Amino acid sequence: MTQDFIVGKDGYEGGEEVWECSQDLVDYIRQAGNDITRSLCSDQDGEPLRILELGCGHAKPSWALVSELDKLGVLWTLTLQDLDAPSLEKARETFAQYRNLDRVQFVEGEWSQLGDTQLASTPYDIVLMSETLYRASIFPVLSRLLRQVLAPQSGLCLSAQKRFYFGLDGGSLPFLLYTKENGCGLSCRLVKDLQDGRSNIRDIMAITSASTSP
């Protein structure tokens, strides 16, 4: 189930495994799902909730969220993003049996290139991501992309990351400090930490545009 980082031949860490924090985000959505959806749905005016998962791998958090939304009868559309077609294969498998697949869009692409594509043309109400912030060098890229894709007033990103990535320089805490110190236009707040005293601390953070309180 869980796995240490493997740097692939192209220098990125792949989504073939289901990473630990992905399961944390699934659990969080299932526990907090009704509250999240209730608050998001209050502003929907009958429009489908727009959901994006960045670096989705198997896209388990998206699956958990749309399952909650279906129980509540809430309309949604979902965009699943990963680096390339092979990276998106696991997400396609997760959603293969889903009866409303026409609501699901698969988008390939490098984060640094996505802000100027259709991804940013209609802002998202909720963005999910897990195990994406493991290198500090990606912080400016993902911050910029989040600013472009999040609905300015109401958009919410739920991000599940390890607090530190040993041997790498990213993590939830370094990213939180980055957003505070660099005026990157995002507000970031810890909503849950997971500590068992035996392994790395893992965090779930709420990220919004800086003008919005998360």
Ligand X SMILES: C[S@@+](CC[C@H](N)C(=O)[O-])C[C@H]1O[C@@H](n2cnc3c(N)ncnc32)[C@H](O)[C@@H]1O
* Alpha helices, H only, 42-78: 60-72
19 is a site residue for ligand X (CB under 6 A): yes
143 is a site residue for ligand X (CB under 6 A): no
79 is a site residue for ligand X (CB under 6 A): no
Sign of the torsion angle spanned by Cα atoms 119, 205, 16, 59 = negative
- Rule CB under 6 A: which of 90-119 touch ligand X? 110-111
Nearest distance from residue 46's CB to ligand X, in Å? Answer: 31
Q: How does DSSP assign 77-132, residue by residue?
A: EEEEEESSHHHHHHHHHHHTT-TTGGGEEEEE--HHHHTTSGGGTS-BSEEEEES-
Task: Name which position in 24, 68, 125, 131 contacts ligand X (CB under 6 A).
Answer: 131
Token pair of 83 as six digits: 């680096």
Our CB check for ligand X shows the closer of 57 and 171 to be 57
Task: Name which position in 36, 49, 68, 82 contacts ligand X (CB under 6 A).
Answer: 82
Residue 114 · residue 86 · CB < 8 Å: no
Task: Name which position in 33, 57, 170, 174 contacts ligand X (CB under 6 A).
Answer: 57
Q: Say how far apart CA 188 and CA 208 lie, in whole Å.
A: 7
132 is a site residue for ligand X (CB under 6 A): yes
171 is a site residue for ligand X (CB under 6 A): no
Our CB check for ligand X shows the closer of 5 and 98 to be 5
Token pair of 13 as six digits: 């860490």
Task: Name which position in 15, 155, 171, 174 contacts ligand X (CB under 6 A).
Answer: 15
